[in-house]
Structure 1
């Protein structure tokens, strides 16, 4: 089984990258690929709860992150340093994640077959 890791680096709603990355993750997982997600830099903002993108005319795709367990996407890593930089706590996220160091993220990347960055 192919192991795919998708990295979220861009903030949501300013462009379509976050939505496209999430769509790719769900589609890939539905075709029996082992999918993991990494959130770093402003990409961690995709996970924040209580967003109202409709106020700026954007589509609310953030709720779709709740479907990840149904697609067996269980490995969701968030960069601890990015959280500290943006003053965000794990309790601010919409879904359960594993907060980890850059070293652990690097190790995870060494274990997968393909990495896509959005």
Structure 2
């Protein structure tokens, strides 16, 4: 079975990309596909606690994020550079992720058979 890395690059309020990435991860997890989820660029904003998406007429992604482990999606990663550039502290995130530097990100991406970027 081929492994897949889903790279989520969109903020939760910038369009459907963030929700679509989570939906794909949850569906893949339900079918026991070996997959990982990487939060990169503005995608790291999905990990911020206490968001108020209804103010922007968006749906809250918190429940979807929390469901990832229930669906067997436990390989979660975030870019250290993306967090730093956006002033986010990895200790304050609402999900436990492995924070990786650029070198480790390259190794991670090369480890998967397929890579899907949203």
**Local SS of the residue matching 1:59:** coil
2:19 and 2:27 map into 1 onto residues whose CA distance is 12
- Do residues 56 (structure 1) and 52 (structure 2) align? no
- Normalised to the residue count of structure 2, the TM-score between the two structures is 0.94
Give RMSD over aligned pairs: 1.0
Q: Which residue of 2 aligns with 1:87?
A: 87
Q: Which residue of 2 aligns with 1:21?
A: 21
Structure 1 residue 28: Cα displacement = 1.0
1:83 and 1:61 map into 2 onto residues whose CA distance is 18
Q: Would you identify which runs of 4 or more consecutive aligned residues in structure 1 move more than 2 Å?
A: none
Structure 1 residue 63: Cα displacement = 2.4
Q: Which residue of 2 aligns with 1:9?
A: 9
- Do residues 37 (structure 1) and 29 (structure 2) align? no
**Local SS of the residue matching 1:7:** strand
Unaligned runs of 5+ in 2: none
Structure 1 residue 18: Cα displacement = 0.3
- Normalised to the residue count of structure 1, the TM-score between the two structures is 0.94
- Larger CA deviation: 56-65 vs 46-55: 56-65
Structure 1 residue 12: Cα displacement = 1.1
Structure 1 residue 40: Cα displacement = 1.2
Unaligned runs of 5+ in 1: none
Q: Does the 8 A contact of 2:39 with 2:77 survive in 1?
A: yes
